[in-house]
Structure 1
Amino acid sequence: MLKASIALLLLSVSQAALSQQITAPGSDEDYLIKYAIYSSAWNVSSNAGLRIVAQNQSEHDVVLQSVLFQDEDDPSIQTRLSLNIEVPAGAWAEKEIDYLNLLFGSECISRTMAEDWKLVEVSNYTLNPSVRGLIIEDSDSFRIYQCVRTVHVSWLDTETQEQNDHSEWVMYHFERQYTN
């Protein structure tokens, strides 16, 4: 629950406090549906599932249907998060699902996990370090690292029945305590 609250805080603070626009690399558009995925199973041996928190910045209700993760070298290796989260216009929604491995198929992610970084979340928006400073009291004692990968997202505008299927980037947000 604490991580869900933190994710909601980060999304709302980043919307209100940051003057920069969150856009896809090379794109002039914001993502209308922002989401964060996290699990305590990434850092400790547990049977924890995945928690997804989504924000709908559009004027219509939507259903975030799925997010497809593919191996960067072999796209036939893939994991699909089947979500079907109903997100009201201008509002939030969250869902818990069984654990699925999202750590495969990326050299950056494999290397970073092997170097003992802690995966905090996977999201389709960037976390500004000044926003992170609201949570980490002494930001000089932490280091933040991010890996980027492309995913395929499907969502439905329930008012217009418009199906949206597109590729977008997600960031894997890692952190660890700084030691001299």
Structure 2
Amino acid sequence: MEAVPGEHEEVEAEGAMLWTLQEAVERQTLQIGVSACGATAVVDVLKALGIEAAPEQVDRCVQTRLRRNESPLPDYLLSRSEAGATHTQLISGAEEASEGKVIGRFFHLHPPRRVPLVRWLAHWVRRGAVPVATMNMQRAVPKGEEVPDAWHHQLIFGVLRNAVFMANPLDVGKYEHVWCFAYRQM
């Protein structure tokens, strides 16, 4: 089957990559601690913007909250509901860890919106933004798998056609249950 003239260019125009897949393998930060996927994503945001920051410093700035595994059941359950970091903590943590060189913005995608996500993300990436996805992992559980108890934050290092490429872990994601926020250097 022959491609329709101009079709390839349109698809290419929709894509944008911060890193190639090989660069992502080499540059991504592996999870820096328990419940620290958000702080890990911020470490990679700063890397993508050319700002070096120690993972421990970023985690302190983000103020990742941990589960209190040894506490009485009511406190333990409360700690599970608060574990990790919110988008607000990630944005302020990135601003603090970069000493004000980075700003962030959260983009609500709920209630569901008719947004061509790949083109929208590519638009922001081409303008110097570094997106992070916040995903409700309970909404897309494969049949037979255990339901996770957490949300998950991942750096988006690129988009092509109908694919979103994410780090920590490296993944090509479905984007049915994704909320996004993006960072830019000031």
TM-score of the pair, normalised by structure 2 = 0.28
More strand by share: 1
CA radius of gyration, larger in: 2
Higher helix share: 2
Name which structure has the greater RCO, CA cutoff 8 Å, separation 6+. 2
Normalised TM-score (structure 1): 0.29
